[in-house]
Structure 1
Amino acid sequence: MNDFQSLRRPIRRRTVLQGGASLALATAFAGTSRVAEAAGGKVIIGAFADGGLTPFKEKIIPLAKAQGFDIEYLEDEYGVTLEKWFADAKNAAGQYDLYLLDDPWVPQFGAADLLEDLGAGGINGGDGDWIKSLIDMGWWPPQQGPRVMGFESATPKLICVPFVGDLQTLTYRNDVYTKGAPATWDELLEVGKAGVAAGKIKYPIVFRGVSGNPIVTSWYPIFLSYGGEFFDDKWKVAFNSAAGKAAADFFVGPLKQNAPPGVVEFDSDQEGAAILGGDAGAIIQYSGNALKADDPTQSKVVGKLDFGVVPKKEKAIAQIGIFIAGVPKSAPNKANAIAFLKWYVSAGIQAKLAEAGSIPVKRTAFAVKDPGNRLIPVALKQLDSGALPRPRTPDWAKVEELLGIELNKALQAGSGGGAALDVAAQKVTEYLTQMGYYK
């Protein structure tokens, strides 16, 4: 797989970017290489704007500076960072020492061989203190599961390390679910309906239904809880199995019937307004949005929202979507960047991260006496209950787009979820065939 194939359909953290990356973007930095030499402890960090990185910026960067690292933190809007960083790495422009990537981007950079082998740099990917499901995402090719063509027999290298352990959890109204977090999807709807009848809420559930990444992200934990798998070990589509179809039928039928009108067009803002405004009884969401529950400037129901593990059918499995760090081979201060990562993922600094309010990536850090937010212990429960990343392929964004279109059509109709998966499976298979996945 060539390097421009690996960038053809970038994925957003929460929403799919429209269209693929162009060659013009990839060459835009060719003549603008920064002349920078390693000086002292300088580390140039590229990051996208996201509230999940606020504790790192406010609490950890000052500690790094006190340690002797000269941190330059360059932040951009999410929608431009993937193309910008890929171009920087591809053209050896040397503008960054460290990228804080969205985890689905790891296969794109890995397939193009643009990131340093951090294991060779002295970072121990086998350290038993790592949360395994998080460190597993840093290897390319992946140590387990299917591998894309060209990497079937390659030796995995640790090209990224987890930076902030973001994942989905349940947020629910504690005055509706008075016995604690609902354990199953059926319980969520049954108790939620009672809350509607009592006048406490208007809808048991809210989720994102807009086509593409949002609807697939909302459906993902339901699909996993039913025992679904996206692909087999040869990249044959498996999401339209009996389990997948049952999950899709539940999603577009009973779940939609208990969600707000217009949910087919809901994205993060709309679902957030429903849970924070007091209309909805439950939501599955990432930590950056979940933590708004305790902010009186954003929530009308402060004190009435608690956190729990996602509901189950057979299992209780959430989607992982972490911040993950990689060092480009063209980094001007490469040794400093690797030294910084070693310092950052140490047990002591991970504990400081948890105290600052971010979800850490080392298990011992979850045991801090006073975690900076009350979601942290719930996040560990979810990680231990079950949490999986999106499939490790550079083409996930296109797969997600094709699947999301069909799921949205079924959601609009309020039925036919299983049939929608069959249509999506055919389209995904055709696309992956064009991309050379099948011999």
Structure 2
Amino acid sequence: MMHSSRLTRRSVIKGGLGLALATTALTTLGLPLPARAAGKKVIIGAFADGGLTPFKEKIIPLAKEKGFDIEFLEDEYGVTLEKWFADAQSGAGQYDLYLLDDPWVPQFGAANVLEDLGAGGIDATDKDWIGSMIDMGYWPPQQGPRVKGFENAKPTLICVPFVGDLQTLTYRNDVFTGGAPKTWDEVIAKGKEGVAAGKIKYPVVFRGVTGNPIVTSWYPIFLSFGGSFFDDKWNPIFNSAQGKASADFFVGTMKQNTASGVVEFDSDQEGAAILGGDAGAIIQYSGNALKADDPAQTKVAGKLDFGVVPKQEKAIAQMGIFIAGVPKSAPNKANSIEFLKWYVSAETQAKLSEAGSIPVKRSAFGIAKPGNRLIPVALQQLDAGALPRPRTPDWAKVEELLGIELNKALQAGSGGGAALDTAAKQVKDYLTTAGYY
């Protein structure tokens, strides 16, 4: 899954609270209807992403067997946020379901344009949920800081996890012969041995492009060093001692042990480095990771394995999932909620796991034959630790400011801590202007 939004999302419109669940009825006059006419229509809006291929190929046919008539509309990632937000705000009613990137939930939540799915019958208390995933569907969030205007609001389930995704480690098993490296120091030390032995060109690879790419690559290192982004009043604290140590390690030690052009690397370049046999290790989302088992896409098939991200103090990854919301303007609202209930059931999630996607229910991770070998590792990572990005409508701007400064330090090969100080001031100024304090 590609998480690379560069959009600034500042404007939120707060509307009145309301729930209008509509039901539909079919009249057959005693005659059989054509299959599509008899189906329960659900119009799904999604951004084009390989992570949804198993859903399209395996789950949509199952939904049809259950009487759902799924219309699946895809757009490029870069246009979907603005397009769907405009649809929701205007009440145009072009979609029944949005498959959102999870950082977008706060924007839709603050604008009050999505249905209360808990009131619609989605059981968020089911112990089978991956807790960290279902928590991402609430607005305002159940834990952590809240934006102004929502300090005392009751958390409402406006989205449900749809396809799980998070960062894990991909590593060369002929370089790290004792299994997945447990620490960042081990990544570097054994990676250097692999370089000396002529097996790889550099120990590690990552994304260095300014904005979302570099922040996404730095994020698990930041978390592993014990860093936190904000305090409970939205004051930036990512430039703590732990944060600065992680940034100095990232722009210094890691740059010294990666490709010379890493400051310009995005997903394509880092993917080519690990799949082409040049790099020893990488932290990445599942869409890229699963190419490791395709001989048509890698020169080192059989030499790439998966593991939990390395730790300094902890082993925590960034989590970013597909998450579904029903707009209040949905023309087939009742059908959409019925579809979601069916889709998030343990039975359907097991089918999703068999098809090769990371599920959102714990039981689906434990099936006899998951569709790929990353799925059990993903559960290990979820249990070790995985955190979403901060739940604010303004995360894209925060990420942009931070990413610019990290990229400057990466170019210099030093000064990571100072870069965080600069970014923290910029973020504080921006959030002050936006009315956070």
User: In which range does the TM-score fall when normalised by the shorter chain?
Assistant: over 0.9
**Equivalent-residue separation in structure 1 for 2:358 and 2:235 (angstroms):** 34
**Equivalent-residue separation in structure 1 for 2:122 and 2:70 (angstroms):** 20
Task: Judge conservation of contact 1:347–1:365 (CA < 8 Å) in 2.
Answer: yes
1:15 aligns with 2:4: yes
Find the counterpart in structure 2 of residue 355 from structure 1.
354
**Equivalent-residue separation in structure 1 for 2:46 and 2:11 (angstroms):** 21
**Equivalent-residue separation in structure 2 for 1:219 and 1:104 (angstroms):** 17
Task: Judge conservation of contact 2:9–2:397 (CA < 8 Å) in 1.
Answer: no
1:212-245 Cα shifts (integer Å, max 9, x gaps)? 0000000000000011000000001100000000
1:405 aligns with 2:394: no
Find the counterpart in structure 2 of residue 145 from structure 1.
144
Give the TM-score taking structure 2 as reference length. Answer: 0.93
Find the counterpart in structure 1 of residue 217 from structure 2.
218
Query: Alpha carbons of 1:366 and 1:20: their partners in 2 closer, same or farther (altered >3 Å)?
Result: closer
Query: Alpha carbons of 1:271 and 1:13: their partners in 2 closer, same or farther (altered >3 Å)?
Result: closer
1:271 aligns with 2:270: yes
The 3-state SS of whatever aligns with 1:155 is: coil
Task: Judge conservation of contact 2:161–2:324 (CA < 8 Å) in 1.
Answer: yes
Find the counterpart in structure 1 of residue 41 from structure 2.
42
The 3-state SS of whatever aligns with 2:279 is: coil
Query: Alpha carbons of 1:315 and 1:38: their partners in 2 closer, same or farther (altered >3 Å)?
Result: farther
**Equivalent-residue separation in structure 2 for 1:363 and 1:20 (angstroms):** 33
Task: Judge conservation of contact 1:121–1:338 (CA < 8 Å) in 2.
Answer: yes
Query: Alpha carbons of 1:197 and 1:42: their partners in 2 closer, same or farther (altered >3 Å)?
Result: same
- Superposed, 1:143-292 pairs within 5 Å as 143-292=142-291
**Equivalent-residue separation in structure 1 for 2:80 and 2:432 (angstroms):** 29
1:74 aligns with 2:63: no
The 3-state SS of whatever aligns with 1:204 is: strand
Find the counterpart in structure 2 of residue 6 from structure 1.
none
RMSD of equivalent CA atoms: 1.6
**Equivalent-residue separation in structure 2 for 1:166 and 1:191 (angstroms):** 28
The alpha carbon displacement at 1:16 in A equals 3.2
1:32-57 Cα shifts (integer Å, max 9, x gaps)? xxxxx886411000001000000000
Find the counterpart in structure 1 of residue 327 from structure 2.
328
**Equivalent-residue separation in structure 1 for 2:422 and 2:265 (angstroms):** 23
What amino acid does structure 2 have at the position aligned with 1:101?
L
1:59 aligns with 2:48: no
1:21-79 Cα shifts (integer Å, max 9, x gaps)? 999xx9xxxxxxxxxx8864110000010000000000000000000000000111111
The 3-state SS of whatever aligns with 2:204 is: coil
**Equivalent-residue separation in structure 2 for 1:16 and 1:48 (angstroms):** 12
The alpha carbon displacement at 1:18 in A equals 5.3
The 3-state SS of whatever aligns with 2:70 is: strand
Find the counterpart in structure 2 of residue 370 from structure 1.
369
What amino acid does structure 2 have at the position aligned with 1:192?
G
What amino acid does structure 2 have at the position aligned with 1:177?
F
**Equivalent-residue separation in structure 1 for 2:10 and 2:216 (angstroms):** 22
Find the counterpart in structure 1 of residue 113 from structure 2.
114
The alpha carbon displacement at 1:302 in A equals 0.7
**Equivalent-residue separation in structure 2 for 1:353 and 1:263 (angstroms):** 35
The alpha carbon displacement at 1:297 in A equals 1.4
The alpha carbon displacement at 1:17 in A equals 2.5
**Equivalent-residue separation in structure 1 for 2:236 and 2:429 (angstroms):** 10
1:87-131 Cα shifts (integer Å, max 9, x gaps)? 111111111000000000000000000100000000011111000
Gapped regions of structure 2 (runs ≥ 5): 14-23, 27-38
The alpha carbon displacement at 1:13 in A equals 4.5
The 3-state SS of whatever aligns with 2:314 is: coil
What amino acid does structure 1 have at the position aligned with 2:181?
P
Gapped regions of structure 1 (runs ≥ 5): 1-11, 27-36
**Equivalent-residue separation in structure 2 for 1:38 and 1:15 (angstroms):** 42
What amino acid does structure 1 have at the position aligned with 2:4?
T
What amino acid does structure 1 have at the position aligned with 2:164?
G
Number of residue pairs aligned between Structure 1 and Structure 2: 416
Find the counterpart in structure 1 of residue 301 from structure 2.
302
1:328-377 Cα shifts (integer Å, max 9, x gaps)? 00000000000000000000000000000000000000010000000000
Query: Alpha carbons of 1:337 and 1:170: their partners in 2 closer, same or farther (altered >3 Å)?
Result: same
The 3-state SS of whatever aligns with 2:203 is: coil
The alpha carbon displacement at 1:259 in A equals 0.6
Query: Alpha carbons of 1:83 and 1:285: their partners in 2 closer, same or farther (altered >3 Å)?
Result: same
What amino acid does structure 2 have at the position aligned with 1:397?
A
1:84 aligns with 2:83: yes
Find the counterpart in structure 1 of residue 18 from structure 2.
none
| Identical amino acids, percent of aligned pairs | 81
What amino acid does structure 2 have at the position aligned with 1:16?
S
Task: Judge conservation of contact 1:172–1:181 (CA < 8 Å) in 2.
Answer: yes
Task: Judge conservation of contact 1:129–1:364 (CA < 8 Å) in 2.
Answer: yes
List 4+ stretches of structure 1 deviating above 3 A: 18-23, 37-40
**Equivalent-residue separation in structure 2 for 1:13 and 1:284 (angstroms):** 13
**Equivalent-residue separation in structure 2 for 1:69 and 1:418 (angstroms):** 53
Find the counterpart in structure 2 of residue 29 from structure 1.
none
The alpha carbon displacement at 1:298 in A equals 1.0
**Equivalent-residue separation in structure 1 for 2:183 and 2:432 (angstroms):** 38
What amino acid does structure 2 have at the position aligned with 1:389?
P
